[in-house]
Chain A
Amino acid sequence: MLIAVLSGFLLALIAPAVCAVSREWAGWTLALLPAALFAWFASYLPGVMADGAQVITYPWFPALDIQLSFLIDGLSLMFALLISGIGTFILIYAGGYLKGHPDIARFYVVMLAFMASMLGVVLSDNLISLFVFWELTSITSYLLIGFDHEDMNARRSALQGLFVTAAGGLALMAGLVMLGTITGSYALSDVLASETVLSEHPWFTPLLLCVLAGCFTKSAQVPFHFWLPNAMAAPTPVSAFLHSATMVKAGVYLLARLSPAMGDSELWTLLLSLFGGMTMFLGAFMAITHTGAKKLLAYSTIMALGTLVMLIGIGTHYAMVAFATFLIAHSLYKGALFMIAGILDHETGTKDVSEMGGLARLMPITAIFTVVAALSLAAVPPLLGFVGKELMFEAVLGAPVLGGLLIVLAVGAGVGVMVAAGVIAIKPFFGERRETPKHPHEAPVSMLAGPVVLASLSLLFGLALFIPEQALVGPVVTSLGGAADKVHLSLWHGINVPLMLSGLSLVIALAIFAFWSRLQPSLAILREAGGRFGPEAGYFRIMEWLTRIASWQTRVLQNGTMGNYLITLVMTTVLITGYTLLSQHGSTLRVPVPALDSGFAWSIALLMLVSALFASITRSRLGAVASMGVMGFSVALIFILFSAPDLGITQILVETLTVILLVLVLFRLPGFIRLSSPLERGRDIVVAIFAGVLMTLLILAATDLQFFDPISAEQVARSAPDAHGRNIVNVILVDFRALDTLGEIFVLALAAVGVYSMINLRAEDQRS
């Protein structure tokens, strides 16, 4: 299983080599992998149908007891089959669609990586690996939308898709962590089997909102739907695969996956039904306002995603059956229709269906299968789409909340997609022949394979309903927590309310379709208004504010004034360390008066105080340098007085050199002038006093405490016998910690090189 998921990534690595060998056949060759995966996943079907879910576990971090586990049940298997099955045709199709494209190898690499990530999302049992794969799909989607990276519009759409889905991804991560914390396990199978009633947990509402934010952005629900139509800037195989059949369904997948654990809450039912229903209606409505084939299909995809979310929200038995059936039907016909939209674009040179006409004579095979797929989209019997739509009406009629509203939305959406289906199937192929920028021919086999197979399956599944019922819908309903033995799909339920609703929407749809061309101008006005006041305008507003805040923040934080940086650093340290010190040791902290025991030490200390203060207030450079000298030698005296002769010697040598250096260099610089105002000086004095007080308190606290014995006892003991040295400090430097000393020598050498080269540079300047 691990190899199956990761094989896509491995093949992505060698895809450029495959392309180098044969550009013509690369698509067919690479498609062997998803085809093999499809067969392999299919081999799990009998087991899942018989025994239910399986969890396959690999040790990941055994020391931390973290497993990389995969969950195989009806739901994940259905998605895996759709991904690998449609993926096979997409790769073949891409070979024809992008024939001769210079970057086709890059396309295959990202596409295969996406496929592997998507399989990872639907098969992961571990919430963390699910999230990682989830984000990988966002990133590969970004790369694929922006595949045509010289096109400004494609780049902008890619970024928009990434921002929206990644923002949702962050919320999802928070949600998944909450989920793991509440149930005590990061394995989906444990979360689902957990006895904790999630909806009664105090964190349930934030948890639900975070998960929904992630799923709604990914699955393009209102009000986050706007990125999906823009993502149509991608090459058509990408739109067909990512933005209709698979990636956008990741959110739907996760909602379905979590519905047994979270679906008993009223808030869940309400939010999913409401947002799903609205998305369903809006998607269908927006679809008929567009004439671009891909945009139209994108909005009908939004409609389908809304329908699926709504069905998960309703959560009754019928809703689960409808969910599974509708999902399969949608993936089949929408994958086919997207590929056909690509064929039309490829052959005619235009994306606008209102500019096409009478193509059926030139492209008979394409025309036939377009009609089949569009009939499934329009939910006409005996196609699978009809069964899905009937079940959807049935489920909506039994909805626990918002029943009336959802019926109206569902009928409206049904009308919308029927019109859309009519537009996509009839406008380009029938009627008067119209001249297009390119002279169209029948598409090559590689591009026809996908639409033909997928459209045929829509018909086959509709006629032989027991195949999807037994193999897919039943197991999915089981994994959603329903009863599989109650699942029964049929084309004819007798004359009932769903059938009447279907009939009603068909009549309205026919009426609208007849006037579709004449309605276009007024629909376009609505579309404009939506663009100006819709959520996408909000997105642009947010992005604008984001850059504004970022530049304001840069101006404030990166102000280029060194003093401000330093004040920020010092005050942050004072506040954080001071707070910790006072809260932890505030009760034991004493501020004693130093004892007057050693007059010699007192006079040295006094010398240091005076020289430090004098250096800070003097206006003479020589005075400052001299007082620094006094300071340095006083420190040396302290070292010598308190048992550190080596330090004293070093300090005296270094101090002598320092004073010489300062005298040599500083007098080439201008004298001290007062640059800052009294107010600034006052502020700096306050900051400095805070820093000084903090250090004093820290020392007082530290001398009182001793948590450990000094670690140098061993070094003292081993100095003479092992290292043959009697000066322990020297032994530590050149023996025990010799590598440190070596590093120090390098630092000094580098500083010396720097000093030398800068002095040399000046000499050269003067010469030239």
Chain B
Amino acid sequence: METLMAYVVGVMFAAAVYMMLRRSIVKLVIGLMLLSNAANLLIFTVAGMKQGAPPLIPEGAEAPATAVADPLPQALILTAIVIAFGVLAFSVVLIHRAYEVVGTDDLDQMKDTDT
């Protein structure tokens, strides 16, 4: 399964970089979203993928009965998802504001600070 995901994540990264290289600022945002999804999946894949073993402890027990999926990468990814959303929300509003002020969504037209 990790092998399959390796290829999928590679394609996602390629798509993300391609979108971020576009001059339209909206495409930049799409690229950003692709990038954060790709990064999360990368951590998830590298940590090892295991089916049917969530890191939960059954009622009454002190420890999981069988080996469970590694909870630490999951905690990190959870943080990353939420932060990525914060970044996205901020950048979307910022871009909107920039478009209102500058009057273009072409990144190459936004080179100067004094517009």
Contact = CB atoms under 8 A, between A and B. Distances in A.
Given A566-B20, A720-B57, A644 B44 contact: yes
A686 to B, nearest CB: 10
A-side interface mostly: helix
Interface in A487-541: none
Nearest to A560: B111
Contacts of B3: 592-595, 700, 703
A716 interface: yes
Contact of A615 (B34, B81, B83): B34
Contacts of A733: 75, 78-79
Interface of B: 1-30, 33-34, 37-38, 40-42, 44-59, 61-64, 68-72, 74-75, 77-79, 81-90, 92-97, 99-100, 105-108, 111-112
B4 to A, nearest CB: 4
A598 B45 CA distance: 16
Contacts of A616: 15, 18-19
Contacts of B25: 669
B-side interface mostly: helix
Contact of A643 (B68, B79, B94): B68
Given A654-B85, A669-B96, A688-B15, A699 B45 contact: yes
Given A699-B46, A721-B62, A762-B100, 9 more contacts: A562-B107, A631-B33, A632-B37, A670-B105, A672-B26, A696-B10, A703-B6, A710-B72, A752-B89
Interface in A744-758: 744, 747-748, 751-752, 754-755, 758
Contacts of B20: 566
A711 B72 CA distance: 8
A662 B92 contact: yes
> Which 7 residue pairs spanning A and B have beta carbons closest together?
A692-B14, A696-B10, A560-B111, A594-B4, A688-B18, A751-B86, A643-B69
A752 B92 CA distance: 12
How big is chain A's contact interface, by range? 35 or more
Given A612-B15, A665-B92, A669-B105, A720 B61 contact: yes
A560 B112 contact: yes
Contacts of B46: 699, 702-703
A721 B37 CA distance: 34
B13 A675 contact: no
A50 interface: no
A624 B30 contact: yes
A593 B7 CA distance: 10
A752 B86 CA distance: 8
Given A631-B37, A635-B37, A712-B72, A563 B21 contact: yes
A601 B108 contact: no
16 contacts: A562-B28, A595-B4, A605-B5, A639-B44, A644-B54, A650-B81, A696-B9, A700-B6, A703-B48, A716-B55, A729-B55, A729-B75, A740-B79, A752-B86, A758-B97, A762-B97
